[in-house]
Amino acid sequence: MFFFIFMKKKILILCAFFTILFFIGSQLMGFGQKLDAKVIKKEELLEQKLKMKGLKVDFIRISGKRSKWFNELLSLSTKNSLHLSGKAIDILVGDINGDKKQDETDIKLVVACLEEIEKEHPTLVGGIGTYLNQGAWSRKMVHFDVRGYKARWNK
């Protein structure tokens, strides 16, 4: 009987834990929240551009449209973040060039593709940012948005 009660509590704790993880993940990735059509198009063109160049589409969207309260929790975010309006996406970049490493070279390849996309599609011009000087997680991220004017940064 004790074992059954113990296991039931463990299951409840695990369910609560995964519910919290899902909620945080949905806030980060923007599940259920509408992204701007232009930023979605930019992400699709990035996939196409990588394939066209013979590179791997090895990235995942880790942030899209965010609520104001969640945006304020994130240390890298600004109060005027374009994530609030669904006009920005952050991606975690993997091994784009297939050299079995996830490094700065892969980040630079993604940025170069985004630069080309903006030249070819002026309506998609916006910010492109990297976080190469940040922590282990952040330095593998690329931010892109459709703010309507060119902005670049490498933090």
CATH of the domain at 130: 3.30.1380
Beta bridge partners of 127: 151
Q: CB 118: neighbour CB atoms within 10 A?
A: 19
Residue 13's pLDDT is 59
Over residues 25-35, the mean pLDDT reads: 60
Cα(50)–Cα(75) distance, integer angstroms: 30
Average pLDDT, the chain: 83
Q: CB 23: neighbour CB atoms within 10 A?
A: 12
The parent domain of residue 73 ranges over 2-154
Q: Does residue 26 register a pLDDT over 90?
A: no
Share of the chain above pLDDT 70, in %: 76
Cα(33)–Cα(114) distance, integer angstroms: 24
Residue 3's pLDDT is 41
Cα(47)–Cα(117) distance, integer angstroms: 11
Tokens 């004017």: give the residue.
Answer: 149
Number of H helices, E strands in the chain: 4, 5
Task: Look at the chain and report how many structural domains it folds into.
Answer: 1
Phi, psi of 87 (to 5 degrees): -105, 15
Q: Does residue 152 register a pLDDT over 60?
A: yes
Element (H, E) at 77: none
